Amino acid sequence: MSPIVGPTVLVVEDDSGMRDVLARGLRRDGFEVITAADGHAAMAVTKRPDAIVLDIGLPDSDGRDLCLALRARGVDAPIIFVTARGNSVDRLSGFAAGGDDYLTKPFELAELVARLRAMLRRGRLTTADAAPDRALRVDAPTHQLMCGSQTVRLPPTEYRLLAHLLAASGTVVRRADLRAVGWPAGAMVSDNTLDQFIAKLRRRLTQVGSDEAIRVVRGVGYVLR
């Protein structure tokens, strides 16, 4: 008699004690669990999880940058961020980065399981046309933009804007959404500033020899394709 295989959860957490507790607890609740201790390990996971538990404070990456990189490569599983209490990270920036839910440490395992089950029930609008074999990729720990063998390291804001455009997989991204992902909540970002960043990103794309370009959709935003 083979056991019923539950949904697969990827747990990205650098604290080994916490990681073990989560993995054991989730397995006991019927989940399949894959663990990763940092951003590099998470980027290397090949199995597509059904849900992701993502610590924001990783030794090599900001969890939100990792979320953007996973979304940019077509990972559309719901993501729940966990962060330490007292951390000044604002909730909004987690959602702007493509997260679906948010828990502050310490939390009860039962609470995490309830949130995971709710997210899995809701499912999400899958980006069926996401191209997994797309030439352009971003890496969270290094903030690199890659196209074939060409790489360029991006400053944080450029990384976040480009990763978000990539994650949209050919659909239009509103200017307000780019502001939310590139800058802290409440920051005043003029149209001119955003335009300057888009101009920089266009040069980066040329630099790595990308076929894709950022196009303006007048009155709406931008699209990368």
Q: At a CB cut-off of 8 Å and minimum separation 6, what does 184 contact?
A: 90, 93
34, 38, 43, 55: residue in contact with Ca ion (rule CB under 5 A): 55
Residue 8: name the closest of 34, 39, 42 by CA. 34
Residue 170, interface with Ca ion (CB under 5 A)?
A: no
How far CA 120 is from CA of 11, 36, 72, 86, 113, in Å, comes to 15, 21, 21, 28, 10
Site string for Ca ion, 56-85 (x = CB under 5 A): -x----------------------------
Q: Tokens 């800058």 sit at which residue?
A: 183
CB of 171 to Ca ion, least distance (A): 32
Site string for Ca ion, 8-47 (x = CB under 5 A): ------x---------------------------------
CB of 92 to Ca ion, least distance (A): 20
The SS3 assignment for 141 reads coil
Residue 6, interface with Ca ion (CB under 5 A)?
A: no
Query: Which residues are near Ca ion by CB under 5 A?
Result: 14, 55, 57
